[in-house]
Chains A and B, each alone.
Chain A
Amino acid sequence: MRFAGIDIGSRTIELVVLKDNEIIEMKQTDSGFDPLAQARDLLGGVKHDHIMATGYGRHLFELSFEAPTVTEIKAYAVGARFLFPEVRTILDIGGQDSKAIAVNDMGRITKFEMNDRCAAGTGKFLEIMAQTLGYNLDQFGIEALKATKEMQISSMCTVFAESEVTSLMAKGEVRQDIALGLHRSVVKRAVGMLKRVSVKGPILFAGGVAQNPCMRHLLEEALDTHILVPENPQMVGALGAALLTSEKT
């Protein structure tokens, strides 16, 4: 039997299909303005017997596909444990939210925290700041690592931070230095959230932002420990949903 998990996030949609507990297919697309239509397209031609949805669009999917749902919190916990059974803390920074999840040695969630309602400390924040500095998202972390000094960014509100960045550029500050300060501000928030769930190792970093090398570097520096990052960190939620639907069947 083929078990699929679909993670309908605010920025992207991921799909994972399992067969005999092995990943046989992974796909990703943008959520766009009509995530349901995008999800339908993503599923086109993908064979599966059961599917479970997670992510902010899960209830939309549930209504149209009569599929069971699970929160991203649980899906990430299950997906992370499948990839790294020893993991005790999971940090997920996605498009518009971020979360820290603590699990016990049985993989059961013992505590979780999510970011505040605004986009501060999320992938969206980094995306807007990258645009402001004239980088594409793939370059952003790489360029930030080239900084020779670090600019302090005091505003965490995306709108105010953008105007702070504009002011720094107007003063002639180097883009890479500003970029490093911006990454640091997101890491500080993430570390605060991790501390609130009593961070314990090993720690896994998931979600699209985990692909950013500067974020990984600064997190390891701040926590003074090695951080586990899966090969496809953005797929962990969809993987968790696929695993959960296979457990239920």
Chain B
Amino acid sequence: MTRKGYLVKQKEMGRHLLGVFPAQYPKEILWAMNIVPAEIWDPPLEMTLANAHLQPTICSVVKLGLELILQGKCDILDGFLFPHTCDSIQNLASVINDYMKAEKPCYFFYHPKAPYDTASRDFYHNHLKELVSSLEKQFGPLDPDTLKQRIHQSQKVSALLTGLYDLRAEGELNITNEEFYRVVRHGEYLFPDDFIPELEVFLSRNKGQGMKGQAPVLLSGVLPNPPEILTLLDDLGVRVAHDDFLIGSRRLLVPANNLDDPFENLTESYFAMPPCSTKGSSIGERAEYLFRLVDATGAKGVIFNVVKFCEPEWFDIPNLKEELKKRGISTLSLDTDLNQGLSGQMVTRVEAFVEMIG
């Protein structure tokens, strides 16, 4: 079933739909309020209208999100959620809510940026509750027991995804890179009741001897788009051993110990997640995370596949590359436009990188 078909069906089943912009938000709260978060990352659209509202140096995640709204493709949604991810998404929230006077309710979620202290935890905890209060006005009261159940499901999703990642890291997943991310990305809109069984079936069907051949690599960045990068790596026989994608391992929930207070539980999980440019994590933390992934997987190089004009990511990359270089780890950075395919020049760069580390 297509993403659109699935969302229509969810609506028919009586669930609410919220269009959610990247990247960090408490999806468990939405699930508990019978809301399906439909994340908006890279809708496959031709850019025609958004350029009138945004300057050329805004990334295509933000532009395509606005394009989706301007082309009238969000009619089915009951509102939008804007997490405080970067300046561009903050500005997009202003464009949609303040300037375009969106007809649908807009919600905002502010999460603290590193370095963290006790006040950061209080801030996050309070903002979770503020988000709930604002959502309750439209969607009705949140049942704490349902929230606990949804947190449990979220942990189950993360455990299954971690299982997938681990098997892939060990070369024991008999699928292509493209197939891997197709399934991982279903989590951007599937309700956990549907995503969990899909992951379980996928895991059980695809355990087996993985791709052999060229040296394994790590991918880092926001998301694996253009998807041709994955097909190219598949064609070259290169296994992506792990990732540091914002849509990938950076959002894997770490199970928290305290289940009595679901808000405490969510808070603890948020602060335990891997470092991320959108959370203001330090270069040291991010480099350590990459080193850990390299050590665990035997990856021979890191490819930064980053959306053009993504400020949080690109600000970090020179320093991250320098840190990796000190450890003798080769890097390649690709400056990509979403849904624009790979130019011949980019193909050459990837092929040459694979030749270099092979």
Contacts and interface: CB of A to CB of B under 8 A. Distances in A.
Contacts of A74: 352, 355-356
Interface stretch (A65-73, A153-161, A205-213, A224-232): A65-73
10 contacts: A70-B355, A71-B352, A73-B356, A97-B345, A110-B356, A112-B352, A114-B348, A114-B349, A115-B345, A117-B343
Contacts of A112: 349, 352, 356
B344 interface: yes
B122 interface: no
Interface residues of B, number: 12
B345 A114 contact: yes
Nearest to A115: B345
A135 interface: no
Nearest to B318: A196
B351 interface: yes
Given A73-B352, A114-B348, A117-B345, 18 more contacts: A56-B344, A56-B345, A70-B355, A71-B348, A71-B351, A71-B352, A73-B355, A73-B356, A109-B352, A110-B356, A111-B330, A112-B349, A112-B352, A112-B356, A114-B345, A114-B349, A115-B345, A117-B346
B330 to A, nearest CB: 8
Interface string A67-94: 0001111100000000000000000000
3 tightest CB-CB pairs across the interface, nearest first? A73-B352, A71-B352, A71-B351
Task: Please report whether the interface of chain B is mostly helix, strand, loop or mixed according to DSSP.
Answer: helix
B333 to A, nearest CB: 10
Interface residues of A, number: 15
Nearest to B340: A117
Interface in B84-140: none
Contact of A73 (B330, B335, B344, B348): B348
A73 B343 CA distance: 16
Nearest to B356: A109
A109 to B, nearest CB: 5
Contacts of B351: 71
Contacts of B330: 111
Interface of A: 56, 70-74, 97, 109-112, 114-117
A116 B336 CA distance: 11
B325 to A, nearest CB: 9
Interface in B296-347: 330, 335, 343-346
A115 B349 CA distance: 10
A129 to B, nearest CB: 21
Nearest to A101: B352
A112 B353 CA distance: 8
A72 B344 CA distance: 12
Nearest to A10: B344
B355 A109 contact: yes
B258 to A, nearest CB: 48
A114 B335 CA distance: 12
Nearest to A54: B348
Nearest to B355: A74
Contacts of B356: 73-74, 109-110, 112
Nearest to B344: A56
B193 to A, nearest CB: 44
Contacts of A70: 355
Contacts of B346: 117
Q: Max chain A CB contacts within 10 Å: which of B330, B343, B348, B351? A: B348
A135 to B, nearest CB: 28
Contact of B355 (A71, A97, A114, A115): A71
Contacts of A117: 343, 345-346
A228 B71 CA distance: 56
A48 B183 CA distance: 48
B180 to A, nearest CB: 25
A96 to B, nearest CB: 8
A117 B349 CA distance: 11
Contacts of B348: 56, 71-73, 97, 114
Contacts of B355: 70-71, 73-74, 109
A110 B345 CA distance: 19
A38 to B, nearest CB: 17
